[in-house]
Amino acid sequence: MNFDELFLYQIVPNVFYISLVLYLVVMFYARYLKSEKKNNIEKIKKYTLEFCFQDKNDYNSILSDLKYSNEIKSRVLFFNVLNHFEKIAIGVENHVFDEEIIFSYYSIYFMLFYKEFRYFAVEENSEVAMRYFSLEKIVQHYSNYDNKRYWRD
């Protein structure tokens, strides 16, 4: 046997073993990434549920108070609620909150507040209306809801 044949017989099995090891490493890493993604989704759902259960606002009574009151205090309360909803909408857009849970818990309030009192925001000026862009976007998605639980990109 010459040197070239000996080299070939030694290298080929080593390449096979190296490729097998690399394949196993990639497979384990893919499984790890999948489990991490699942854990992350579970954490987001848990965080969203905790957030929803910590929200003790009675939006129905706030809505009825706002409908029959023209006081400045009511307008401040209204904008505070809209700001709160805008933060939630931004959290859903950025996947901080689980969208299915937010939809189940807040969708009716988003739509009622925004559609009922949208003229307040527009009446103020266009700059104020632009502050609620994410809320308007989520309200449009919930309004066009056609038996889909998700509207993620």
Report the sign of the C-alpha dihedral through residues 7, 12, 13, 19, in that order.
positive
Report the sign of the C-alpha dihedral through residues 50, 153, 107, 137, in that order.
positive
pTM for the predicted model, two decimal places: 0.66
Q: What angle do CA 136, 94, 115 make, to 5 degrees?
A: 15
- 10 Å CB burial of residue 141 (0-12, 13-18, 19+) is middle
The end-to-end CA distance of the chain, in Å, is 62
What is the residue type of 147?
N
Q: How far is CA 17 from the centre of its chain?
A: 44
Q: pLDDT by residue for the chain (153 residues), tens digit each? A: 566 666 666 766 777 888 899 999 999 999 999 999 999 999 999 998 898 888 888 887 877 777 776 676 677 787 788 888 888 988 888 889 998 888 888 888 888 887 776 666 555 555 666 677 777 788 878 777 644 444 444
Q: Where are the domains of the chain?
A: 1-54, 57-143
CA distances, 83 to each of 14, 51, 145 (Å) = 63, 16, 23
